[in-house]
Amino acid sequence: MSSTGDKVKGATNEAVGKVKQGVGKATDSTKLQVEGKVQEKKGEAQQAVGKAKDAVKKAVDKS
Protein backbone atom coordinates (compact mmCIF):
# COMPACT_ATOMS: atom_id res chain seq x y z
CA MET A 1 0.00 0.00 0.00
CA SER A 2 1.24 3.49 -0.75
CA SER A 3 1.99 6.01 1.95
CA THR A 4 -1.07 7.99 0.87
CA GLY A 5 -3.21 4.85 1.03
CA ASP A 6 -1.93 4.07 4.51
CA LYS A 7 -2.68 7.61 5.69
CA VAL A 8 -6.19 7.64 4.17
CA LYS A 9 -7.09 4.21 5.50
CA GLY A 10 -5.67 5.17 8.88
CA ALA A 11 -7.70 8.38 9.02
CA THR A 12 -10.83 6.44 8.08
CA ASN A 13 -10.24 3.82 10.77
CA GLU A 14 -9.56 6.53 13.31
CA ALA A 15 -12.80 8.36 12.45
CA VAL A 16 -14.90 5.19 12.47
CA GLY A 17 -13.36 4.23 15.81
CA LYS A 18 -14.35 7.56 17.32
CA VAL A 19 -17.91 7.15 16.03
CA LYS A 20 -18.10 3.65 17.52
CA GLN A 21 -16.93 5.01 20.85
CA GLY A 22 -19.59 7.70 20.76
CA VAL A 23 -22.33 5.22 19.91
CA GLY A 24 -21.02 2.90 22.63
CA LYS A 25 -21.24 5.69 25.19
CA ALA A 26 -24.71 6.70 24.03
CA THR A 27 -25.98 3.13 24.22
CA ASP A 28 -23.97 2.23 27.33
CA SER A 29 -22.16 -0.50 25.37
CA THR A 30 -18.72 -1.12 26.83
CA LYS A 31 -17.99 -3.61 24.03
CA LEU A 32 -18.62 -1.00 21.34
CA GLN A 33 -16.56 1.58 23.20
CA VAL A 34 -13.61 -0.83 23.41
CA GLU A 35 -13.94 -1.82 19.74
CA GLY A 36 -13.98 1.85 18.81
CA LYS A 37 -10.87 2.60 20.85
CA VAL A 38 -9.03 -0.33 19.27
CA GLN A 39 -10.03 0.79 15.77
CA GLU A 40 -9.01 4.37 16.54
CA LYS A 41 -5.55 3.22 17.68
CA LYS A 42 -5.23 1.00 14.60
CA GLY A 43 -5.96 4.05 12.45
CA GLU A 44 -3.35 6.11 14.25
CA ALA A 45 -0.80 3.36 13.66
CA GLN A 46 -1.67 3.15 9.95
CA GLN A 47 -1.20 6.88 9.60
CA ALA A 48 2.18 6.63 11.31
CA VAL A 49 3.22 3.93 8.82
CA GLY A 50 2.23 6.22 5.95
CA LYS A 51 4.22 9.10 7.41
CA ALA A 52 7.24 6.85 7.94
CA LYS A 53 7.06 5.70 4.31
CA ASP A 54 6.99 9.35 3.22
CA ALA A 55 10.05 10.13 5.34
CA VAL A 56 11.99 7.16 3.92
CA LYS A 57 11.03 8.13 0.37
CA LYS A 58 12.17 11.72 0.94
CA ALA A 59 15.47 10.52 2.41
CA VAL A 60 16.05 8.18 -0.54
CA ASP A 61 15.11 10.88 -3.05
CA LYS A 62 17.69 13.26 -1.51
CA SER A 63 20.48 10.66 -1.89
pLDDT single digits (tens) 8-55: 999 999 999 999 999 999 999 999 999 999 999 999 999 999 999 999
By the 10 Å C-beta count (0-12 exposed, 13-18 middle, 19+ buried), 27 is classed as exposed
Predicted pLDDT of residue 2:
87
Determine the pLDDT at residue 1: 83
Burial-class residue 63 by CB neighbours within 10 Å (0-12, 13-18, 19+).
Answer: exposed
pLDDT, residue 25, reads: 98
Q: Determine how many CB atoms are found less than 10 A away from the CB of residue 52.
A: 12
Torsion of Cα atoms, 17 then 19 then 2 then 44, to 10°: -40
Is the pLDDT at 62 greater than 90? The verdict is no
